[in-house]
Amino acid sequence: MADAPAPTASSLQEYERLTAASQSAFVSARELLPTGVSRQTLVYEPYPIYAERGAGQYLWDLDGNRYLDFVNNYTSLIHGHAYPPSVLAAAAELGRGGALGAPTALEREYVEFLQARFPVAQQIRFALSGSEAVSYALRVARAATGRRRIVKFEGGFHGSSDEMQQSISSPPMQPGDFSAGRPSSAGLLDVPTLVCVYNDRESMRAAFEAHGEEIAAVIAEPFLGNSGLVTADPGFLSWCAELARRHGALFILDEIQSMRLSAGGAQALHGVVPDIVALGKVMGGGMPLACFGASAQVMSSLDGFSPAVPQTGTFNAFSASLAAGLATMRGFGAAEIALLDRLGDLARTQIAAVFAEAGLPVWVNGSGSMFNITTTAGPVRTYRAWKNAPTEPWQAIRMRMLADGIYITQRGTGCLSTPMGEDDVAQLAGSLRTAIRQVPADGRSGFTHGQPHSG
């Protein structure tokens, strides 16, 4: 998908009218912070809203505007903002000192909880972020195999390490091909990362035929979280794991976003058993926390008083994050998952219906509590299809929805939280319907022809 274009003049005027305080904050922040933020994902034209507070399914900006939040800090808030049990648990730990500089009993308690849901993780190490968890998982895989190369997929996002900041938003590859990673940023070191086409077995075969003896691990998401929620085809992840193992490599499943889909994450839904799993986002209960886990044998490089792979981090296993996360995850059981599955199905169906009413094409990907809106006839089952879809219609629609109090991402991805109900899904659909009607003819011209579809 191409870089986001500027919104239309009319939607800009309405947005600027409602968000004068955010505009002022942005202008002031740019004097001290590049682009006025510390997180590039939050930047969009003409300026982002500046948040003041959040509670449940709602977010308020500096102007006092209330938004129904389908961003949820980019999938990390399964219970929405300021979930009371997590707030109380974190506050209690902070009252006991917070960063104590010594191990706490909470580490074992949380590991035992996670192992019950993710049995592949016989041993677990905590980290501060998903980027760190993935980076150490890769390091452990290289230590276990004695090899250097990592295989990832185009469009896949696995954090900020040099070896994973490759081919995230690059032009699509040809089916059946693989390539060296294309750096997604300036300032990256040369890395031996290989990149394959998602859902393409021939691409994977070609990579292993050429470099099988050099590959330490394959890392994959169950869906391309930053690329339209393109989901792994049935059996693809298990096939990738088997291919890797036949060549002496490991299979790493990045469940940092997808662990919100079920108690056992996407691996339970896909029936795949990874060698290493990386977890994050919702497990922090609104605070920074991630982890990676594997068998004792794979994790052995981290073990001992002089380990082969020493793991450091001043705030690893921060007790307030552990407490908040454990409270959140204990409140994320069968009933909550069933609720979110039902609301997710309803949201995807209603989004497709709204576009159908307007006679405009859409492809709605997603499962469980997540959805993605791509303004194309589809199907959007490959990175190539998502990347080649038009962006102008969605950007015009999104800007009008922001002015209407719906907070949703630039790339059309949304997620639900447990405080939400059918009324909130109806509000999303109603705002979408109004926005589509108000999009001027020049915005509608960006649509490709075809019928709406929920994938």
Residue 378 pLDDT > 90 = no
Residue 443 pLDDT > 80 = no
Residue 250 pLDDT > 90 = yes
Do residues 345 and 422 touch, judged by C-beta distance below 8 A? no
Domains, in order of start, for the chain = 9-78+333-454 (3.90.1150.10), 84-330 (3.40.640.10)
pLDDT bracket for residue 453 (50, 70, 90): low
Strand partners, 277: 253, 293
Average pLDDT over residues 130-149: 98
Do residues 317 and 103 touch, judged by C-beta distance below 8 A? yes
C-alpha–C-alpha distance, residues 261 and 266, integer Å: 6
More confident residue, 143 or 452: 143
Average pLDDT over residues 205-222: 98
Share of the chain above pLDDT 90, in %: 92
Query: Cis before residue 361, ω within 30 degrees of 0?
Result: no
Residue 282 pLDDT > 60 = yes
Residue 5 pLDDT > 90 = no
Q: Pairing state of beta strands 363-365 and 230-231?
A: unpaired
Tokens of 53: 């507070």
Type and span of the H or E element at 344: helix 334-358
Sign of the Cα pseudo-torsion (54, 56, 59, 65, in order): negative
Do residues 347 and 454 touch, judged by C-beta distance below 8 A? no
pTM: 0.94
Q: How many CA atoms lie within 13 A of 220 on its CB side?
A: 29
pLDDT digits (tens, 9 = 90+) for 41-74: 999 999 999 999 999 999 999 999 999 999 999 9
Amino acid letter at 232? Answer: A
Position 30 scores a pLDDT of 96
Do residues 174 and 145 touch, judged by C-beta distance below 8 A? no
Average pLDDT over residues 275-293: 98
Tokens of 151: 């295989």
CB atoms within 10 A of CB 435: 22
Position 439 scores a pLDDT of 79
pLDDT bracket for residue 11 (50, 70, 90): confident
Average pLDDT value over all residues in the chain: 94
Residue 409 pLDDT > 70 = yes
Residue 440 pLDDT > 80 = no
Do residues 408 and 396 touch, judged by C-beta distance below 8 A? no
Average pLDDT over residues 221-236: 98
Strands (E), 288-416: 290-294, 363-365, 370-374, 406-407, 413-415
Cα–Cα–Cα angle for 172, 173, 179, rounded to 5 degrees: 130
Sign of the Cα pseudo-torsion (55, 57, 61, 63, in order): negative
Average pLDDT over residues 272-293: 98
C-alpha–C-alpha distance, residues 254 and 76, integer Å: 14
Tokens of 68: 């129904």
Do residues 288 and 315 touch, judged by C-beta distance below 8 A? yes
Alpha-helix runs per DSSP H in 146-259: 201-211, 236-246
Residue 16 pLDDT > 90 = yes
Query: Cis before residue 288, ω within 30 degrees of 0?
Result: no
Do residues 230 and 199 touch, judged by C-beta distance below 8 A? yes
Position 2 scores a pLDDT of 37
Residue 215 pLDDT > 50 = yes
Q: Which residues of 10-36 are buried (b: 16+ CB within 10 A; e: fewer)?
A: ebeebbeebbebbbebbeebeeeeeeb
Helices 319-330 and 84-95 meet at what angle, rounded to 10?
Answer: 160
Amino acid letter at 110? Answer: Y
DSSP letter, residue 183: B
pLDDT digits (tens, 9 = 90+) for 67-107: 999 999 999 999 999 999 999 999 999 999 989 999 999 99
Return left, alpha or beta for 35; rule: phi > 0 is left, psi -120 to 50 is alpha, else beta: left
